[in-house]
Amino acid sequence: MGVMLFGESYDCLPQGRLKSRADTPNWRLFSSAEDTFSHCKLVHQFNISNMIHKHALEFYGYIKLINFVRMKKPTAEYLNSLSSPLPWEEEEYLKPELEDDLLLQFDIEDLYASTNISEPNGLSDNTAILEQLKCTEHRAKLAETALARAQEDLQKMRQFAQDFVMNADVRSNSSSSSAIAELRDDEDGVYFSSYGHYGIHEEMLKVVLDVGCGTGILSMFAAKAGAKKVIAVDQSEIVYQAMDIIRLNNLEDTITLVKGRIEEVDLPVEKVDIIISEWMGYFLLFESMLDSVIYAKDKYLAEGGSVYPDICTISLVAIGDKNKHADRLAFWDDVYGFNMSCMKKAVIPEAVVEVVDPSTLISEASVVKRIDCHTTSIPDLEFSSDFTLTITENTVCTAVAGYFDIFFEKNCHNSVMFSTGPQCTKTHWKQTVFLLENPISVKTGEALRGKITVVKNRKDPRSLIITLSVNNTKQTYSLQ
């Protein structure tokens, strides 16, 4: 397949402008990307290598440049005159303008390797060497950034696998440490051992939909477990990293990636048999993707299909932590001799996401919401619930903490769950703490009654407004 200069049906004229084949009999078809770049440099004074070095373009930047040139057909003079910000920085230029464009398959590392350091822009040898060193340094920094991002993604994969699957025995805290140790020794072995609990193997020769796939870790687990086809959907730019990861693991024949919101994209199938998603947010529902999972379930899940996780609960527990209460509230009564108690009104309404010391728990937990992902609807995600917290010691209640548990139950031979509660293995979801302005004196065996109301913030539907009534004292909190 030949390579046209800057488009399948366009060529560069001596002035550097693009012209269609119909307008000139002298269009040229090049046999390689190198020939194309050489022609640009010799005939039109446009040096693609210098352009990459000048703007420190990495692989995706190069792709955007090529697609920008094909789409906008700029002059060589215009391209040579550009400075930051670059006109091709928008994500739309990641989409190939030409199908099977060989220029997009060119490894720009070859350009870095083949650059003649004695002649860029007519600079002296010393200056040229300095320029080359600067480029090398910049490439090293890009590589460091990419490595850091990859390491962060890997850590997220490990953490999620640990939280999402490994803690099948989380009800027994003594087994959590050994599960984590096994994960570090043999992540795949532990995962697939736990995966057998789901009983999904009987159904795995089916189509799986991963909503909000991120780096594609769940999609790859599903593919390795035997899924016939996996469709992974994510609207963020991380989907491009997922493409690379999936190719590196030779799973591109099984996993199809789709970029966009599940509510807006067209899937290559009408129905799926299983939906998987790591949709949970803080306090389960903050910035969660459950709305999208519900949409996917209603539109794409085949009759009798399964959504995992399928059961989720939100629980509350009382906290007695005088020191932390003093740090956050009493502190404002005397700040270096000044009364700033008015600041309490600004501090209290902000729910705090943090790890709660289990030694500060002073009640049994109370479930205030149960969600079955197979039957729930979007309106169900706003709710009110009465609760009773049975106190376990004589002290004062300074706050109420919320957390969630998730379960895998439908078609599972052995029910699997994990908890984000303060008495279990720490997770990145931590707990959500609602501070009480005035601590409440409580006694062992006392029933501390209250009511919680959770609604979406109308100005920001992904955040929550939570109203808590305890002992006839009402306080509204924001989680945002």
Q: Which residues are catalytic?
A: 278, 287
**What are 55's two structure tokens?**
């703007």
**Angle at CA of residue 453, ends 435 and 359, nearest 5°:** 35
Q: Is the dihedral of CA 263, 266, 268, 271 positive or negative?
A: positive
Tokens of 118: 């004695």
CB 258 within 8 A of CB 233: yes
DSSP state at residue 355: P
> 3-class SS at 399?
strand
Which amino acid, 339? N
Q: State CA 220 to chain mean position distance.
A: 16
Residues with Cβ within 8 Å of residue 75, at least 6 apart in sequence = 15, 16, 17
Q: List residues bridging with 208 in a β-sheet.
A: 230, 274
Strand-pairing partners, residue 259, are: 234
Q: Label residue 35 exposed, middle or buried (CB < 10 Å: 0-12, 13-18, 19+).
A: middle
Alpha-carbon span 296 to 282, nearest angstrom: 22
Length of the chain: 480
d(CA 312, CA 408): 9
3-class secondary-structure state, position 390? strand
- At residue 150's C-alpha, the angle toward residues 83 and 59, to 5°, is 35
How many whole angstroms separate alpha carbon 363 and alpha carbon 118?
75
Report the relative pairing of strands 207-211 and 272-276 from DSSP bridges. parallel
Best CA proximity match to 411, nearest among 206, 254, 250: 206
